[in-house]
Amino acid sequence: MRAWAKVSPVLHHLITFGPRAGFALLLAVLVGFELLFIAEAKEGATALEAERSLREARAREALDEELRGALDVAEARLEAMETLPLVEDDGLLRVRDGVQYLPRLPGAAGAAVTSSADAAAAFRALDSIDAERSGLRSVLQGEPVVARHAAWNPVLAEVLGQRAIHPVVRLGLLRSVLALAPDEFAGDFAQSLVLRAWPWLEEATAARACVEVVRRGDGRGLKTERFSAACHRGLESTPVSVVVTAKPRLVGAWVMVEREGEIRGVQIELAERLADVQKTLLKRGMLEHGEQLSPLPSPPGESLVGLRLDSPRLEAAHAALRTAMWWKTVLLGLTGLLGFCVVLLARLAERRKEETLGLQREFITTVSHELRTPLAGIRLMAETLERKLGAETAAKDYPRRLVVAADGLGFLVENILSFNRLESGRWVPRREPFSFSTLQALLEDDATLAIDAVVQVSCEGLERLAPRQLDAQLIRVLVQNLLRNAWKYGRRQPVVFRVTGRDEGGVAVLRFSDNGPGIPEAAWERVFQAFHRLPAAEGRAVGCSGLGLALARRIAELHGGTLRITQSSSEGTTFELKLPLPSGPSGEGRGEGLTP
């Protein structure tokens, strides 16, 4: 309905165009409304997607916070394992210098050290240790120092705890403990030594070490469950594909980051973490019941995980937009069809109206032409009767009145004919040199036809106006209409009609002033409309057709000029006529003229 309310005023104006132009304009209006509907639908869809994007961003932030928190906890556990190797290591990642320490991978650092040269290198690595710690060298050399293990065991632990300890030393310690030491070395020290040396152990050696340490521990009633579980994970683990990244990043099932030259990370179950985040957001009111979050393969920007929100409410809103767009298009199509029908019918009605007006013009022209003959006969007989009767008192002035009435009726007929031709576009001015000074005689002669009024005509400055190429007949009709309006509506006696003329930059300006009752300012333009008649003053009937001033303005415009009221009051009215020099070549034009 709103669309029709906007379109219907346009249809009213389409009837003034040709059929093709009207249909083209209507089609442009329909296309414009369709584009407007499309823009509205896109704007609505954009708003819904913006809401979805905002809620997805909040969910990503919550999930990123969850994953980064898990990574922080994992890094704290990794720091603890520096001094406590038996801390739970499940789901942790540590890679340094290309060696995968966690998850433990046998032989990750290369082949095991077995040669005597490697053993000698291990001994040389201990040269920096002072004499107080010489018991360590005795262990590596296989000497039975079991009785003193309580004294040098802390030394072994201290050396073993150094991050940069030589791998050969680590292996030498492991072999000495397993091969030479008694069952007292089945506790945490032996378990830690096996786990620290894991990257340099072949899979079979690592398995034997685990079995030996567990056997000794079980024999002494020590706790070996955590060590045993670590051995099982180490024997079953596989290499992890790592990415060097300064910022936390999700790679496969691992959240990893580079810290201090090593890759650290934690293994996560994304589905479980996402379910926890979704429950939290649902409690906070940031998600609605029935909405689901699903991961996307490529996270945007700084996020660890990309998320897609599946919302039944948003999908329903999108569907409603599409349905509304479809209905708007259908209604617009029906409106367009109706508009085309209205334009077509209006055009047909306008054509019939034009045909009717054409017939009316033809009728008026025919009747007017037919009236000329009897009017001419009446005037001729009245003039003959006037001459024969002379000043006989019995006849009074009736013959004269008959002549004036016939003249007035003839002038009215000429006005109707002239206006009809100008309105139908069949009039072309017959231009010829015209002298404005001839207007005075014309006006004085015409003033004598007034019976009920005494008309005084005065002209000033007309002789100083340069001749112009004008249609003399039309200019005379213009001036006569202004004069007859003055005496028909005039209340004062005598009726004074004054004409002044002057040149203003090549434009002939004529002013016609009378001493009539004046015209209200609100009606200054309406009086130039066809068939508009002002009410008679003091109840006096005025016989006129309402075409005089309309015809006068048409004549002025036909010559490229203007006619308007410049002043009006109870003392009279002043009309101003401006006639510029013709823009085309001067000369005589062809037209119908005032006579058939």
Measured on CA atoms in the order 352, 358, 362, 368, is the torsion positive or negative? positive
HEC string of 30-56 equals HHHHHHHHHHHHHHHHHHHHHHHHHHH
Which residues sit opposite 470 in a β-bridge?
Answer: 432
What is the rounded distance in angstroms from the CA atom of residue 418 to the CA atom of residue 425?
11
pLDDT at 352: 81
What is the rounded distance in angstroms from the CA atom of residue 166 to the CA atom of residue 160?
9
pLDDT at 367: 55
What are phi and psi for residue 309, nearest 5 degrees? -95, 120
Our measurement of the distance from residue 440's CA atom to the centroid of its chain's CA atoms, rounded to an integer in Å, reads 67
- pTM, to two decimals: 0.51
Label the pairing between strands 495-504 and 455-460: parallel
Q: Count of residues for the chain?
A: 596
Chunked into runs of 10 residues, the chain (596 residues) has average pLDDT values of 47 53 79 89 91 89 91 89 80 89 83 48 47 46 41 47 54 61 63 81 85 84 87 90 88 90 92 90 88 82 85 90 90 85 81 70 59 63 67 60 65 67 70 90 84 85 89 88 86 90 90 92 88 59 67 88 92 93 50 40
What is the rounded distance in angstroms from the CA atom of residue 370 to the CA atom of residue 365?
8
What is the rounded distance in angstroms from the CA atom of residue 476 to the CA atom of residue 407?
15
E strands in 87-203: 92-96, 99-102
What are the structure tokens assigned to 124, written together? 């040389």
What is the rounded distance in angstroms from the CA atom of residue 584 to the CA atom of residue 288?
80
**Hey, what CATH class is 427-579 in?**
alpha beta
pLDDT at 457: 92
pLDDT at 349: 83
User: 94: buried, middle or exposed (CB in 10 Å: 19+, 13-18, 0-12)?
Assistant: buried
pLDDT at 558: 86
pLDDT at 140: 47
What is the rounded distance in angstroms from the CA atom of residue 420 to the CA atom of residue 413?
11
What is the rounded distance in angstroms from the CA atom of residue 162 to the CA atom of residue 165?
5
What is the rounded distance in angstroms from the CA atom of residue 443 to the CA atom of residue 484?
10
All structural domains of the chain with their residue ranges: 2-56+312-354, 104-236, 427-579
What are the structure tokens assigned to 212, written together? 């030996």
Q: Are 165 and 159 in contact (CB under 8 A)?
A: yes
Q: Tell me the three state secondary structure of residue 503.
A: strand
What is the rounded distance in angstroms from the CA atom of residue 203 to the CA atom of residue 106?
5
What are phi and psi for residue 320, nearest 5 degrees? -65, -40
Measured on CA atoms in the order 258, 259, 261, 262, is the torsion positive or negative? negative
Buried b vs exposed e over 298-308: b needs ≥16 C-beta within 10 Å?
A: ebeeebbbbbe
Q: In Å, how far are 250, 313, 326 from 38, measured between CA atoms?
A: 41, 22, 10
Closest CA to 574 of 488, 511, 484: 511
pLDDT at 193: 77
Which amino acid type is present at position 560? G
If you count DSSP H runs as helices and E runs as strands, how many of each does the chain have, helices first?
15, 14
pLDDT at 224: 86
